[in-house]
Each structure stands twice: as structure tokens, then as C-alpha cells.
Amino acid sequence: ADDQTCIVDLGAGTGYYLARVVEAVGRPGIAVDVSKHAARYAARAHPRIGAVVADAWAGVPVRGRAASVLLNVFAPRNAREMWRVVHPAGRAIVVVPEGEHLRELIAEYGLLGVDGRKPERLRAQFGGRFEVVGEYPVRRMLSLGAEEVAQVIGMGPNAWHADAERVVSGAEVTFAVRAYVLAPR
């Protein structure tokens, strides 16, 4: 990618992952999130991050071919817009939960499970625009305190389906995700 590229995080949330990549790669970052509160957090996550409030499905307000790296961690994915924004020599990194992810909390608190067809759906979604050039499964056990368990339950779609107020103790929890590295076609 050329010297004018940046790191873009679609569905950046607080900017946690983007800040680490910006620091490691040395390029500026753009956090894109539909939440103005998340965008404010992301803008403060690193001095070289700017943030914009936008819905990825309505169009990403980033110049075409601008991203040497495009991150998408547990966020909605718009393959068309991602392809438009990624530099031809760049990569998109998409991180999704595996079937075992948070299985202990799913059982205990009735959280939403992961669709077993997620890998096939992801490949179908990106197949025309991206090639999968790498897959990296990450699995480990985490010891979470009660407050951390409540925070995990309160993230993402589970916030609408489970009551984090019910949490009274910590838990050993399976963390299982898969990172896909995608090259634009």
C-alpha cells in the first residue's frame, strides 16, 4: 500500500483494537461506528485516530482505496463498502466468534449462540470481492470476575437478550474466535 493509506476500523466501538494496530503499523486510523458515543471513545483511544459516525450499510465516508488495513471485529460487514475502501495491496481482517465462544455464559445466562453456518456465510458474503488468504483460530480460557461477566453480557446483541444484573459471580469462560485475512480481488 502507498504512503497515503490509513487503518480503517468498521464498527470500531471504543477503538481498542484500532489503537493497537495504529501503534504497531505507524499509520493513522479512522474509526467508523454508528454510535456517536463509541466514536467519541475511539477518537480518544490514540492520538493518530480520527472518528466518524456512520452506518456501514449506508456507505462509509472514507476515500476509496484508502485503507492499507481494514479491521472488522464482531461488527456488521458490508462487503461492497469494505472492498471499495481497501487498497488493492491492502488487507481486510475480519474477526468472528466461533461456536464455542462464551459457551459457559450462553448456558448460564441464555445468551445468543453463534450460528454454526457463520464460516460458510462469511465466505459467501466476501467471495466475489475478496479472497481468504489466511485464517487464524484463537481459543483460550479466561477467568472473569463478576463485573467482567456482566460487561461481556452487556456487549453487542446480548444486551437486548440477557439481564446482566443477574450476574453474581465470576466464571471460567471460553474465548474462541477466528480471524480471516482477506485480499481484495
Domain regions of the chain by residue span: 1-97
Under 8 Å between Cβ of 69 and 87: no
Q: Residues 164, 75, 178, CA angle at the centre, nearest 5°? A: 95
**pLDDT per position as a tens digit, 66-122:** 999 999 999 999 999 999 999 999 999 999 999 999 999 999 998 889 998 988 999
Q: Are strands 67-73 and 49-53 parallel, antiparallel or unpaired?
A: unpaired
Q: What's the rounded mean pLDDT across residues 40-63?
A: 97
Q: Among 44-53, 62-71, 110-119, 152-161, which is the least confidently predicted range?
A: 152-161
Q: Which of 132, 129, 103, 131 is nearest to 116 (CA)?
A: 103
Query: What pTM was estimated for this model as a whole?
Result: 0.92
For residue 97, which of 49, 48, 152, 47 has the smallest C-alpha distance? 152
Is the separation of the CB atoms in 9 and 20 below 8 Å? no
Q: Alpha-carbon distance 67 to 49, whole Å?
A: 13
Q: Per-residue pLDDT for 159 more than 80? A: no
Cα(67)–Cα(50) distance, integer angstroms: 14
Per the CATH hierarchy, to which homologous superfamily does domain 1-97 belong?
Vaccinia Virus protein VP39 (3.40.50.150)
150: helix, strand or coil: helix
43 neighbors 71 (Cβ within 8 angstroms): no
Distance, CA of 11 to CA of 78 (rounded, Å): 11
∠ Cα 5 13 178 (to 5°):
80
- Average confidence (pLDDT) over 119-138: 95
Compute the distance between CA of residue 90 and CA of residue 5 in angstroms, rounded to an integer: 9
